Amino acid sequence: MPFNIDFTDKVIVVTGAGGVICAKISQEFAKKGAKVALLDINEEAAQNNANQINEDGGIAIAYKANVLDKENLEEVRKCVLRDLGKVDILINGAGGNNPKATTENEFHETYLTENSTSIFGLEKNSIEFVFNLNFLGTLLPIQVFAKDMIGRKGTNIINISSMNAYTPLTKIPAYSGAKAAVSNLTQWLAVHFSHVGIRCNAIAPGFLVTNQNRNLLFNGEIPTERAKKILRNTPMGRFGEADELVGATFFLASENLASFVNGVIIPIDGGFNAYSGV
């Protein structure tokens, strides 16, 4: 078994590549020889990541991209084709929750009014924003970039799901629903693309402290009650780190190691998903 991780000359498109998780993942792919296209709506964050990778001797180019704008993605695809070549691996990392799609209360109570920030107070626009970012923001880049993968050996897609896809967390119904949809889409695509050689899998990270959830987990330096609850329900008793997602991502991406792995969602969660809390 060639347990040799080598992505030399593979073109990897990473969305959300200016964020905490996908900056780390893209840096590690670059160290293994990949040419990495870093897509993010936050151009500065993507460019900072590209600078870091290039300084370390890797090959990376940053592109300003909005995963919800198909025309923009088509333009970016042309640039990636021109600069790096056809995509071999697409990692869909853009996503996250938003405070506006978060209820204040975990439970609705009889004394709460219809205007409270329980389920009744959530704005349609906010729900759409979070649902679309996570679900459509995964589907649209696949529509645009997977065209270049058809019939080419070793091509694959890796989505990022979440613990919410297995059992929804309180307060974030749009994010939970969207990540369940991302897991479902991962399996759907694994089947849909199975005759044209594109594998589709996902990772489902447990809890890491990043930009998109920091305000739910900390008040300044102080952990919120929610953060304490998460740690009590994570048997390993700590938050994960972005570099702990890299091994499983390498495995799924590698044709040597995972050529028959298709439609799986790997939890990387310190045991959270296995624990009933008792």
**Residues between 108 and 137 that touch ligand NAD (CB under 6 A):** 133, 137
Are 65 and 41 within 8 A, CB to CB?
yes
Q: What is the DSSP string of 14-46?
A: EETTTSHHHHHHHHHHHHTT-EEEEEESSHHHH
Q: Containing H/E element for 52?
A: helix 43-55
Interface pick for ligand NAD out of 5, 11, 14, 18 (rule CB under 6 A): 18
Interface pick for ligand NAD out of 33, 42, 122, 126 (rule CB under 6 A): 42
Catalytic annotation on 175?
yes
**Residues between 235 and 274 that touch ligand NAD (CB under 6 A):** none
Six-digit token string for 272: 């959270």
Q: Please, which residue, 64 or 86, has the CB nearer to ligand NAD?
A: 64
Considering only the stretches 92-100, 115-123, 221-229, 257-265, report the one whose residues sit in contact with ligand NAD under the rule CB under 6 A.
92-100
Length of the chain, please?
278
Considering only the stretches 38-46, 115-123, 186-194, 251-259, report the one whose residues sit in contact with ligand NAD under the rule CB under 6 A.
38-46
Closest Cα partner for 50 from 72, 80, 73, 75? 80
Asked if residue 21 binds ligand NAD (CB under 6 A), the reply is: yes
Interface pick for ligand NAD out of 210, 216, 255, 261 (rule CB under 6 A): 210
What is residue 214's DSSP assignment?
H
Six-digit token string for 140: 């649209």
User: What span, in angstroms and rounded, lies between the C-alpha atoms of 44 and 63?
Assistant: 10
Catalytic positions:
175
Q: Which residues sit at the interface with ligand NAD, rule CB under 6 A?
A: 15-16, 18-22, 40-42, 45, 65-68, 93-96, 133, 137, 160, 162, 205, 207-208, 210-213
